[in-house]
Amino acid sequence: MKALLLAGGKGTRLWPISKSQTPKQVVSPFGYPQNLLQLTIVRTLGLGFDPKDLFLVTAQNQEDILKEYWDSSHLNEIISEPEAKNTAPAILLATKKLMELGMDNEEGIYVFPSDHYITDYHPNLSINLRDEILCFRIIPTRAETGYGYMNLHTGGVIRKVRCFTEKPNQETAEQYYQSWVNDPEGAQEEKYFWNSGIYAFSLNSLGCALEKIDPAVYQLWKNSSYAEFLAQYSQLLTIPFDKYIAEKAYNLHSAPLEASLWRDVGTWQSVYEALSPTEPQENIHIGLGQAIFTSDTKSCLVKSDKNINVACAGVQNLAVIIDGDNILIVDKDNPQAMQDLITQLQNNYKDLI
């Protein structure tokens, strides 16, 4: 088995700790000694992967930033995109490298994003992936527009995906979530699950899907050398694997994510949920100084890298993040507010990001 660790995202929604020179893979939003990439490496090795079978997939402009953490773990190659084109081209590039290294066409390849927080993770790594692309499903806890959703055919633990929708609009996400709220014990073929973003396949099963989805790219991927594929990389679509492959693959199947907790750590809301999965009104403090919360303050997160005191009174759902000279105060449950801020920073305050 081989493991591809994806670590090319910018993580702008975790500003101010995640910036161009400190992308989210190398920061610790939870205040742990290890950053997100290091946590992913430890988790993957703990599943039984040999260090030589771990490959880091990142953007060329992040390679130097990530290299010290990768090299210190004595793992295999860093595969760098010449330009950031999202996860579909990045995975095709990485699998092209595995072809060149002589990987068997039926051997399993697991794709692990490096921005996940997972506890008690015990996946079944013995699944035959010769003909199937596998995604791992989760029962949704809200109508989330930032994740993919899947509906499944009847069957056993591993079931064929009937339809896959990446990042639906709010109305559609509500409909998918209500399939659980309205009838939690009903037939699962009527339910819509979250996609965890973790995939598994073989060169054979990925190639079979790619040949039907995009024959021209399949021919390039199948018949070129790694150097030739790299030279044509700029011609590939900039698109997520979820939209390019998962939404269209005829051989997509799903297995449950065998973990006690999973969070895609892309927002301060997800950080809060990872730290307080069962107490939705708990107030949380990470880092230095003190946080003082009045009794009518609910569901707030304070994170500080300075030895100062932060008091919250009569407020709810706030994230207060202090990092260097930057202080963020945001409604953590309002993703649009954070996106509006990032847009303003990118347009008018580029030196801050």
Which backbone phi and psi does 256 adopt, to 5 degrees? -70, 145
Residue 344: how many other CB atoms lie within 10 Å:
10
Predicted confidence at residue 75, as pLDDT, reads 83
One-letter amino acid identity for 271?
V
Q: What is the pTM of this model?
A: 0.94
Q: For residue 261, what pLDDT is reported?
A: 94
Which regions in the chain score pLDDT beneath 70? none
| Residue-level pLDDT at 277 | 84
Q: What is the pLDDT of residue 161?
A: 97
What was the pLDDT predicted at 46? Answer: 95
pLDDT tens-digit map of 50-79: 999 999 999 998 999 898 888 877 788 999
